[in-house]
Structure formats: structure tokens, C-alpha cells
Amino acid sequence: MSFFDLISSRHSVRAFKEQKMSNDAIEKILAAGTGAPSAGNLQSYQIFVVSKKEDKKRLAVAAHGQDFIERSSTVFVFCADPNTSAREYGKRGEDLYCIQDATIACSYAQLAAHSLGFSSVWVGSFIEGEVANTLGLPSGLKAIAMLVVGIPAEKPEITTRRPLSEITHIMM
């Protein structure tokens, strides 16, 4: 599949068949995510891989009852690491770069999951403290995105995008 076909054929899925993901697939998704660019190549994030049903259930509760999370194969939780970025870049690193680093990594991982034949949805609506408790996060890390990945049990809704003219500005 071409890169552009890969992007245009990815749609969020929120219903999954309960099926385990192989370690090989998990590693490929992680390798793609960590292949993303990051400020100063510091990779100021940590990624938690959650496969156990009881942990996914707790993440679903933390995500305001988004129950499909429990039935996914694997949840990749991307956490920003502000201290690592701050050491090199001060406040800009602490407030911005670590979030961007983690976000880009999550985007690459989402495309990799799609490329491997999985479906996914990015989940950003959750109570940070509850996610931190579930993962046992050290105080310096901030969970910013869950990438919920699995085998689809529904046809995704085909979403559209705003016209380019509304959101782009070509400077001549």
C-alpha cells in the first residue's frame, strides 16, 4: 500500500474482537513509534504497553467508561517526560517539546498498527490520575494519549475533513 493510501484508509474503530496481539506486532508498532522525530532526539516520552484484561478494564474506567478499550488487543499509553526535555530545553521543553515528542510517536505507531492490519483509535479523554495509578507512573511522567489497537468488529465510520481552504494559508 502506498503511503498516501495508508493514510487515507485509516479510520478510527471503537469495537474490537477480543484477540491477543503477538509480541512481534507489538515490537513493530513500538519500533515505528520510536522512529518518529523528537526534539534533540531526546525521545522525551515513555510508552506503556497494556495487554492484561483487568488493566485494560481500569483504563476503560479511567477513560470515562469507553468500554471498547477493555476488548482491544493492546493499549499503548504514551506519556510525556517533561524532565528529560526540560534538562535540554528549559520551559519550552517542559511545556511543549515533550508533548510533541510523545504525540508524534503515537501518530507513527497508529499508522504502523494500520499497516500491520490492525484497527485503532486514539483516546485522549481520560482522568490522568486514574491512568497514572493503573500504570504505576512515577510522578514525573504525564499520560497524554492512549492508542487502543485491536481486530475490528465493526466497519469504521468514514469521516471527512474540513476543506483545505478553511485551515491552510499559502503565503505568496
Residue selected from 12, 34, 51, 83 as contacting ligand FMN according to rule CB under 6 A: 12
Can you tell me which residue has the cell 509480541?
23
Q: Is 115 in the site for ligand FMN (CB under 6 A)?
A: no
Binders of ligand FMN among residues 52 to 81 (CB under 6 A) are 66
Q: If phi over 0 gives left and psi between -120 and 50 gives alpha, with beta otherwise, what is residue 122?
A: beta
Alpha helices in 10-81 (DSSP H): 23-34, 53-62, 68-71
Residue selected from 26, 62, 98, 123 as contacting ligand FMN according to rule CB under 6 A: 123
Closest CA to 94 of 85, 105, 103: 85
Rounded to an integer, what distance in angstroms lies between the CA atom of residue 123 and that of residue 27?
A: 21
> For ligand FMN, which stretch binds (CB under 6 A), given 31-39, 46-54, 94-102, 119-127?
119-127
Cβ atoms of 120 and 113 within 8 Å: the answer is yes
Binding mask 127-166 for ligand FMN (x = CB under 6 A): -----------------------------x--x-------
Residue type, 19: Q
Task: Please calculate the CA angle 127-149-30 and round it to the nearest 5 degrees.
Answer: 95
Q: How far is the CB of 125 from ligand FMN (least distance, A)?
A: 3
Interface with ligand FMN: number of residues (CB under 6 A): 11
Task: Please calculate the CA angle 101-107-108 and round it to the nearest 5 degrees.
Answer: 90
Q: How far is the CB of 88 from ligand FMN (least distance, A)?
A: 25
Nearest to ligand FMN of 39, 60 (CB atom): 60
> For ligand FMN, which stretch binds (CB under 6 A), given 10-18, 25-33, 82-90, 111-119?
10-18
Residues in contact with ligand FMN by the rule CB under 6 A: 11-12, 14, 66, 121-125, 156, 159
